Amino acid sequence: MSDILKTSLCGIELDNPVIPASGTFGFGYEFAQWYDINCLGTFSFKGTTKEERFGNPTPRIAECAAGMINSVGLQNPGVERVIAEELPKLKQVFRKKVMANVSGFSVEDYAYTCEKLDREEQVGWLEVNISCPNVHGGGMSFGTDPKAAAEVTAAVKRVTTKPVIMKLSPNVTDITEIAKACEGAGADGVSLINTLQGMRISLRTRKPVLANVMGGVSGPAVFPVALRMVWQVCRAVKIPVVGMGGITTAEDVLEMMMAGACAVEVGAANLTDPCACKTIIDGLPAAMDKYGIRNLEELRI
C-alpha cells in the first residue's frame, strides 16, 4: 500500500483512512470471501451489547431516494460470544487491529462491555455508540444530552486503556456541544455522523413501512449533512474526528478529509456492493493525482 495513503487514528497508524462502518460489515470475516480485507485501514465491527439482542421486529429496511432506512436494532450475540466466537474467526483472516463498536442501555452496560473488549489483543479502538436511533431506552438517548454523553465517556475511560472514540448522533440541535462534552470527559476521538431519523409510509397499506415506525436514514443523501457536521466538530474540538455519512467514492473521502476528518467510515455502500471499500481504496491514488494531492495529511486544514 502506498505511503501517500497513510494516516493516524488516535496514535495508531493506518495504511489508509477507509474504515467500514459498524452494522454494515458484520464481524469482518464474512467479507473475506470477496477480497483480502487487510487492504482496509481497519473496520468497526457489529455493534455489541452486554447481553444478546435479537433486534427489532421485521420489516427493518425501507428504501428511499439516494439511500435507505434501517431499524435493525443492534442485533448481536452479546459480548461474551463476540469474544469467544467472533473474534477468533476474524483473527484467521485479519491481521490488523479492529475497532470494537459498543452500545448499551445504561452507563453500567457501556462500562461493562468496553472493559471486556478492552482486554482483547485484537481490539485497537473502542467506538462507543451513543447515537443509535433504533433502540428504546439507550443508544441515542445518551448522545442527545451533553451531560449524559460525558457521563458515558468518563465511565468507559475509567475502565479502559485503549483509545475511546465516541460515536455521535446528528439528531441534535448542536452536535459540537456533544463533541465538546465528550472531549471534556476524556474521549480520545469522536466519530460522526450516525444515521438521521426518518420513516416511510406505504401508500398501499397506509401504515409505516418499518415495524419500528422510524429508522435511521443513510446513503448518499446524507453526505452534505455529514460533511457540514464534521466541519463544525473539527473546529470545535482538538481530538481526532472520524467522518462518515453517505461516502461512496474516493472523491467523497478526500472531501471529508478536507473538512478535517483524519479517517472515514463507509456504511450503506457496503450493503449495495460488498467490494465498495476496496474500490474506494483502489481509486484514492488516481483521485489524489487528479487534484494535485501529494499525501492525505496535507488535506487536514
In a 3-state reduction of DSSP, which class is residue 129? Answer: strand
- Nine-digit cell at 254? 478526500
Q: Which of 132, 234, 262, 277 is catalytic?
A: 132
Query: Residue 183: its pLDDT value, please?
Result: 98
Which phi and psi (to 5°) does residue 230 adopt? Answer: -60, -45
- Which residues lie below 8 Å from residue 135, measured CB to CB, with a gap of 6+? 56, 73, 74, 103, 105
How many whole angstroms from its chain centre is CA 122? 18
pTM of the full structure: 0.95
Extended strands (E) in the chain = 7-9, 12-14, 18-20, 61-64, 67-70, 98-102, 123-129, 164-167, 189-192, 196-198, 215-218, 241-244, 263-266
Each residue's pLDDT tens digit, 103-144 = 999 999 999 999 999 999 999 999 999 976 545 455 556 888
Mean pLDDT, residues 7-28 taken together: 97
User: Catalytic annotation on 132?
Assistant: yes
Each residue's pLDDT tens digit, 231-279 = 999 999 999 999 999 999 999 999 999 999 999 999 999 999 999 999 9
- Answer for the pair 147, 158: CB distance below 8 angstroms, yes or no: no
Domain 3-55+74-197+220-299 falls under CATH 3.30.465.10 = no
In a 3-state reduction of DSSP, which class is residue 114? Answer: helix
